[in-house]
Amino acid sequence: MNQQVIYHKEVSTLGHYDVVVLGGGPSGICAAVEAARNGAKTLLVEENGMLGGMATSALVGPFMTNYDREGNRPLVGGLYREIIECLAERSAAILPEYTDSPSIHTSFIGRYHRHVTPVDAFMLQIVLDEFAEQAGVEVLLYTRFVDCLCENGKISSVILAALEGLRSVSADLFIDCTGKADVAFAAGVPTWKGDEENGIPQPGTLMFEVDNAVDEEFTARPKQPVKVYRTPSKGCYRVNHHRVFDADAADSRSMSNAHRAARKQVLESYRVLLEETPGFENARISQVASVLGVRESRHIKGKYTLTVQDISQGVSFEDRVALFGYGMDVHPRTKEMSGNFKVEVAEVYSIPYRSMLPENCDNLLVAGKTISAESQAAGAFRVMPCAMALGQAAGAAAAIAVKGGFAPDKVPTEELHCILRAHGAILD
């Protein structure tokens, strides 16, 4: 029996901001920093105790290539480039122009892996803290989005579960970077989960790291599905391995079951390394991700839905906010299915601003892997560099809209492009 309760409570407010960004992952941090740099009073809300999302708490890495399909020229600059250069100066990242494939940095995988960016997850936390502080972003960690209050097609305020209790915060404009389209869903924006036909998302993976490996003895890809990518530190590798199916990132029971299953998979993959992979005989697990790596969750219905055909034909949208060239990396959704790179992408394709604009919420932008796109198409741009480019675009657009006093869908493309180019984005 589906029982319900009615709950009423007065909630203290944290105040009003120009822009509130929900979710502090790769897209969220870039959205918040860009909005603040452009003069917007900005609050960034993150449910974990660190910024970086999948790149830090889930240990997802390396950053996949920011180059075109063949790996000949970079397509993502801007804040992505600023952040990795800051890491590289501290020996906490290897810039993509200094990596190639197949190599120890790509687990000897060639296709679509030229110029990945290995990063140190802890130093990334430090750098992201610094970027937020220097830009003047107010950051609330350990604070989860709960719900939103809407009036006349707009979000008037959001409800947050802070450590001290429920709190509300209002803003002129909100940016959903939750990775699950939580804000859009709560605001009544049409969404769907996973594949359009069956609702099944791509599987999850619990990443972990090992150290004490011998780089010189690692000369071939390990037994599938185990893949190991060397980090900036000698002998230290990030492990991407088994898939855990039925991982619905927007369902607590599903994620609880998936994470328990994934922990067992870590031990099996570690055994493969110790017993069957040259160079890893004395490797030790140094850390296991605190959250499950999630490839896909909800997708929003936006002003424009990016299609597989758009990406395979390389459509250049007039309102493009990012260029990319990574393949449609769609993992099998069930044990019986096959996946990965089903349709060839164009050498360069673009992401339109309209795909970040929800269909029926006038003061909300969505950035990251949950923008309006077909599920297979989203498999191409769901990785870190593009997520960061989309976040930066959302932050710039939000600042323009707040300053001009109009809705995000009225942001002039020319002005948005001008700001993004001035801040290092690559749009041509």
pLDDT in tens, 35-89: 999 999 999 999 999 999 999 999 999 999 999 999 999 999 999 999 999 999 9
**pLDDT of 1:** 58
State mean pLDDT over 17-37.
98
**Which whole number is the average pLDDT over 183-207?**
96
Model pLDDT, residue 234: 98
Residue 360: pLDDT over 80:
yes
For residue 28 the two structure tokens come to: 């969220």
Query: Taking residues 3-8, what's their average pLDDT?
Result: 91
- Give me the sheet containing 208-211, strands edge to edge: 227-230, 237-240, 208-211, 284-288
Q: How far apart are CA 383 and CA 272, in angstroms?
A: 26
> Which amino acid belongs to residue 348?
V
Whole-number pLDDT of residue 368: 98
Q: Which domains are present in the chain? A: 12-103+119-194+298-422 (3.50.50.60), 208-288 (no CATH)
Strand partners, 299: 192
Least confident of 93-102, 165-174, 329-338, 358-367: 329-338
Size of the chain in residues: 428
When pLDDT is cut at 50, 70 and 90, the band that residue 338 belongs to is confident
Q: Report the alpha-carbon distance of residue 150 to residue 170 in Å, rounded.
A: 11
Backbone dihedral angles phi then psi of residue 185, each to the nearest 5 degrees: -60, -45
Taking residues 250-255, report their average pLDDT. Answer: 97
pLDDT at residue 292 greater than cutoff 70: yes
Q: How far apart are CA 399 and CA 396, in angstroms?
A: 5
The encoded tokens of residue 9 equal 């409570």
Average pLDDT over residues 371-376: 97
In this prediction, residue 337 carries a pLDDT of 80
Q: Average pLDDT, whole number, for the chain?
A: 97
Percentage of the chain surpassing pLDDT 70?
A: 100
Predicted pLDDT of residue 151 = 95
Q: Which of 398, 312, 393, 298 is nearest to 352 (CA)?
A: 393
pLDDT of residue 336: 83
For the stretch 104-153, pLDDT in tens is 999 999 989 999 999 999 999 999 999 999 999 999 999 999 999 999 99
